Structure 1
Amino acid sequence: MRRIVIWSASTLGALLVLLSYSTSTGRAATHISSPAVAGAVPAAGATTGSAGSSGAGTTYTGDVMSTQWGPVQVQITVSGGRVTSADAVQVPTGNPRDEQINGYAVPVYESETVTAQSADIDAVSGATVTWQGYTGSLQSALDEAGL
């Protein structure tokens, strides 16, 4: 009888620990750029700004790339023949896992774009599909900018 009580208590304790384990980090996506108007997507090849304005640069929007998880679109700002910023204006956000992966990967891709000055950037582990869409859209924006 004593063994049964100890076994039952141990089993109940282990079950309680397993059920209380949090499988999510509970963090929100750190950074995912979005268009100024909800639902609005810049047209592929759209440019803004003027080449003559100092520091502002010209903005080029790449083609929308369809991936198995959703569309990806990149917008770059070019000033003095150099990419000064890159923003993913559209990334897959269909579920919390997409948001978690892209919340980490997209800022890395944006930073690497400015550093590399090309679409030749490394993929982030776990975000290969986003990387494929990002580099495709980025290359079309770079082509539009003549870089």
Structure 2
Amino acid sequence: MKRAIPVLVLSIAGLIPVWRYEPSLGTASTEAATPASTPSESSAASGSGSASTVVKGSTVQTDKGPVQVQVTFQGSKITAVKMLQQPNHPQTTAAVPKLIAETLQAQSADIDTVSGATITSDGYKESLQAAIDANTESVSSSAASPSASASAAAQSQTVDGSTVNTDKGPVQVQVAFEGDRIASVKMLQQPNHPQTTAAVPKLIAETLEAQSADIDTVSGATITSDGYRESLQAAIDAKG
């Protein structure tokens, strides 16, 4: 029994460090480890529905050495700035955090020059402005594309006419419009008859010329012609 007591004490002592252990929370890095990319490259922003775009500014050659920034945008908002190249100089090292802080606050390259680091400040602002300009152009292009696609889709439209049941069989046309213009006509259904087969090219040719369903009946294919015109008019009416 006397031996059991020390063992129990040691066991409890061994558990104390475990009970007192608290996982340490590291501070978030201010610079994302994102590979450099062109304005056209983007990656999804963590925890956000929109996309983040990483843009390199131009490399500005200064008397102290090259200066180049990399800017992360969310839309047109600047969310982070990283130095890709900078002069190896104590004044530059001290100036960079100030320049970045001012950029995030101003959301532009219209920021003050850091005293004692005029050359670096000027190079920084020039590279930053180049990145902002590239992103603005990219955002504008992206915004214009959906509207252009929507406009093209509105101009080009394919409409199926009604199915007209005739004594010879069903007749149905499909009409492709470019704006209000009839660009082409395709037969979806037609009677399996030699006179119909011969009549269809004539009916389509007249349609493209007249740009309406007001066309002549093809001799020897009256029933098909009537069904064609009815289906065609239905497609024109449906297009609006």
**TM-score normalised by the shorter chain: which range applies?**
0.5 to 0.7
After the TM superposition, which residues 59-74 of structure 1 pair with which residues of structure 2 at under 5 Å, given as runs?
Answer: 59-74=54-69
1:88 is matched with: 83
CA offsets 1:65-124 (integer angstroms, 9 cap, x no match): 00001000011110132001111111011xxxx1x1122100111111111011001011
Q: Runs of 5+ in structure 1 lacking a partner?
A: 1-32
Task: Give the drift of 1:36.
Answer: 8.0
After the TM superposition, which residues 25-36 of structure 1 pair with which residues of structure 2 at under 5 Å, given as runs?
Answer: none
- Is 1:107 equivalent to 2:97 in the alignment? yes
2:134 is matched with: 144
User: CA 1:80 to 1:126, structure 2 compared with 1: closer, same or farther past 3 Å?
Assistant: same
User: CA 1:36 to 1:81, structure 2 compared with 1: closer, same or farther past 3 Å?
Assistant: closer
Structure 1 contact 77–85 (Cα < 8 Å) conserved:
yes
- Is 1:118 equivalent to 2:113 in the alignment? no
Q: State the percentage of identical aligned residues.
A: 43
User: CA 1:122 to 1:52, structure 2 compared with 1: closer, same or farther past 3 Å?
Assistant: closer
Figure out how many residues of one structure are paired with residues of the other and give that number: 103
Could you tell me which amino acid in structure 2 is paired with residue 111 of structure 1?
A
Q: RMSD value over aligned CA atoms?
A: 2.6
- Is 1:50 equivalent to 2:40 in the alignment? no
User: CA 1:139 to 1:57, structure 2 compared with 1: closer, same or farther past 3 Å?
Assistant: same
- 4+ residue runs of structure 1 moved beyond 4 angstroms? none
Could you tell me which amino acid in structure 2 is paired with residue 128 of structure 1?
T
Q: Secondary structure at the match of 2:127?
A: helix
Q: Runs of 5+ in structure 2 lacking a partner?
A: 1-30, 138-240
Larger mean Cα displacement after TM superposition, 51-60 or 83-92: 51-60
Q: TM-score, normalised by structure 2?
A: 0.39
Name the structure where helix makes up a greater proportion of residues: 2
